[in-house]
Structure 1
Amino acid sequence: MAGRQQDRAAPPGRPQRRPVVALYERMVEAIRAGTYPPGSTLPTEPRLAAELGVSRPALREALILLQEDGVINVRRGVGRTVSHHPPPRGFEFLKPLEVLLGEGRQVVTVPVARTREEPTDFSTQHLVLPAGGEVRFWESVIEVGGLPACLTQEWAADETLAELLPEAAEAFDGPAARTSSMLRLLLDAGRGLPLTGSSTIVATTLGRQRGAQLGRPAETPGVLVTQVIRLDRTPLLAAKHMLPPGAPALPVWQAR
C-alpha cells in the first residue's frame, strides 16, 4: 500500500483533517481490495504501522473504530482478523449517489444545470447564506446502465466553501464539474475532514418537471431523499435526490 499522504497545514480557523478517519478509510478500502481478505489475520501492530506508514497510536485508534463497526474481530490468542461478512458501505456512510447506485454498473452523471441563483426556501432553510447573495445550484441526472436512475439537485454557498473548504470551491469551477455531482467533489476535497450528513426519506410523486427529466409520467411514484452535509456544525451542501421506480436500491446497514 502507498505511504501516508501528508496533509497541508490548515490555515487558522479552518478545521483540522483527522488522520485517524483517513486511516480508517484506507484500511476499509484495503480490505475491500483484497489486501486483507475476509477471515485473514491482520499483521501485528508494529508491522501494520510500518506497512501503512503511520504511527502506532493513530493505528490503534483506527483499529478500535474498525472493531466497533464490525469490520474486524479481536480474538484472544489469535489477534485481529478481518470479518467474514464486513458490513456493506451503504447510505449510512457519506458516499456520492452515483457511487451508491452504480455498484458494479455503468454510471454517467449528466449535467442539466450548473449555475448560480437567488436563494430558495430550501437553500435558505438548510445553508448559511449571505444577505442578498446568490447560491450555487447544480442539477444532474444520474444514469445507471443507460437509464435515468436519479435526479439530483444540489445547493452550496460559495462564501462558506471558500472559507472552510476552498479545495471544493476550486473543484466546483474545474472540468470535473461536468461529469460529477457536487457531493462527489465535496467528499473528495474534504477527505479526512469531519464531514457528517443527515437525510430524510419520503415517498412522493415525480411531478411534471421531474417526471419529464426522468422520462416518466408526472403521477409516477418516487422516493425523495433530502440531504445536508456539514463540516463540524456548518452546513456546506444541501441536496434533493429523486429516485423513480426501478432505480437501484440504497442499502442501509443497521446493527443493534
Structure 2
Amino acid sequence: MADRLSFLSAPLPRDQAVPLRVLVHSRVLDGIRRGVLTPGSMIPTETELGQLLGVSRTVVREALMLLDEDGFIVSRRGIGRFVADSLPQIGLERLRPVEELLGVNLELERTAVMLQPTTSTFVAEELGVAADTPTWFVETVIRRDGRPVALAQEHVPAAGPLTEEDTTVPGTLLSVLLRRSGPAISAGVARLTPGVLGEGRAASLGADPAEPVLIVTQTAQLSGKAYYLAKYALRAEAGNLSVIQSGH
C-alpha cells in the first residue's frame, strides 16, 4: 500500500473536461477508500494539500467542502479535518424533481452541459460505473421571481435513455427522465446535509461562497440499476422543503 505522502503527491491527471476540485476530491476519496487515509486520521491542511497536488488553496477548500458534505471527513474547529470514523450511510428520503418542490414562478437556466470522458470517484461510486465511463454533467440555476434560489448539478451515464438533446430540454434532467421512463425509475434516495456554497457554486449563483445552504444529494435507479445522481444547493430564499416518506 502506498504511503500517504506518495499517494497524495502523485501528479493529477489534467483533463480540461474535469474541474480541478473534482480531481482533488477524487484523490482524497480514493485515499479513504483504499485505506491510505485511515478512519480518524488527520487530513493535511489546505496549504499542504495544495502544495502536494500543485493546486490552489481555493481548489482544495472546494474539494474538502464536498467531502465534508458527504460525510467522508469531519471538521474540528481550531484543530483540523479528519477522516470520518465510519463511511456515510445511505439516506431513506425520496424526492420529486427539485423544481416541483420549490413551487411557482420559477425560471430554470441551463448554465453548463459537459460530456465528461472520465468521472470523479464520488460520481462513479454513486452511479455504479467505472471511472472511465463517459457521463453527462448538467448544471441548472433555478430562479424565483428573477432571484437565484437553488443550483442543480446532475450526472447521468452517457449510455442510457437520456441523450444530448435531452440536456437542452427545459427542466432538470430528473424531470425529463421521469417523463421519458416513468415507472422504470425506482429507489429514489436523498441525503440532506447543511453546508456552504463554496467558490464554484457561488460563482454560478452570484452569491457569497460562505453562504449557508441545504445540500441535497439525490440518486435514482433506472430498471433496478443506478442511473441518476444530483447535488442541489438550496438557499434560504428557496423556502421550506417538505420530504414525504412512504410507509411501503
The residue identity in structure 2 corresponding to 1:124 is: A
Alignment of 1:98-109 (within 5 A): 98-102=99-103, 105-109=104-108
Classify 1:129/1:115 alpha carbon distance in 2 versus 1 (closer, same or farther; 3 Å): same
Q: How far has the Cα of 1:144 moved from its partner?
A: 1.6
Higher-Rg structure is 1
Classify 1:194/1:213 alpha carbon distance in 2 versus 1 (closer, same or farther; 3 Å): closer
Return 5+ residue gaps in structure 2 as ranges: 1-91
Structure 1 position 182 matched with structure 2 position 163: no
Question: C-alpha distance in 1, partners of 2:127/2:215?
Answer: 19
Q: Summarize deviations over 1:6-27 as a string: whole Å, max 9, x none.
A: xxxxxxxxxxxxxxxxxxxxxx
Alignment of 1:8-27 (within 5 A): none
Structure 1 position 197 matched with structure 2 position 188: yes
SS of 1:192's equivalent?
helix
The residue identity in structure 1 corresponding to 2:242 is: P
RMSD: 2.3
The residue identity in structure 2 corresponding to 1:173 is: E
Q: How many residues align?
A: 155
Classify 1:125/1:252 alpha carbon distance in 2 versus 1 (closer, same or farther; 3 Å): same
* Percent of aligned pairs sharing the same letter: 28
The residue identity in structure 1 corresponding to 2:96 is: K
The residue identity in structure 1 corresponding to 2:125 is: Q
Classify 1:133/1:221 alpha carbon distance in 2 versus 1 (closer, same or farther; 3 Å): same
Return 5+ residue gaps in structure 1 as ranges: 1-90
Asked whether the equivalents of residues 223 and 244 of structure 1 are also in contact (C-alpha less than 8 Å), the reply is yes
SS of 1:204's equivalent?
strand
Question: C-alpha distance in 1, partners of 2:152/2:131?
Answer: 26
Q: How far has the Cα of 1:122 moved from its partner?
A: 2.0
Runs of 4+ residues deviating >6 angstroms:
none
Structure 1 position 206 matched with structure 2 position 192: no
Number of the residue aligned with 2:63:
none
Number of the residue aligned with 1:114:
113
Q: Summarize deviations over 1:49-84 as a string: whole Å, max 9, x none.
A: xxxxxxxxxxxxxxxxxxxxxxxxxxxxxxxxxxxx
Q: Which of residues 161, 165, 174 in structure 2 aligns to 1:173?
A: 165
Q: How far has the Cα of 1:180 moved from its partner?
A: 1.8
Q: How far has the Cα of 1:212 moved from its partner?
A: 2.3
Classify 1:234/1:146 alpha carbon distance in 2 versus 1 (closer, same or farther; 3 Å): same
Q: How far has the Cα of 1:191 moved from its partner?
A: 1.5
Under a length normalisation based on structure 2, what TM-score does the superposition of the two structures give?
Answer: 0.57
Structure 1 position 97 matched with structure 2 position 98: yes
Q: Which of residues 218, 224, 228 in structure 1 aligns to 2:209?
A: 218
Classify 1:177/1:190 alpha carbon distance in 2 versus 1 (closer, same or farther; 3 Å): same
SS of 2:177's equivalent?
helix
Question: C-alpha distance in 1, partners of 2:244/2:130?
Answer: 38
Question: C-alpha distance in 1, partners of 2:180/2:170?
Answer: 16
Question: C-alpha distance in 1, partners of 2:182/2:244?
Answer: 22
Number of the residue aligned with 1:149:
149
Question: C-alpha distance in 2, partners of 1:255/1:236?
Answer: 22
Asked whether the equivalents of residues 94 and 245 of structure 2 are also in contact (C-alpha less than 8 Å), the reply is no
SS of 1:179's equivalent?
coil
Question: C-alpha distance in 1, partners of 2:246/2:184?
Answer: 25
Q: How far has the Cα of 1:137 moved from its partner?
A: 0.7
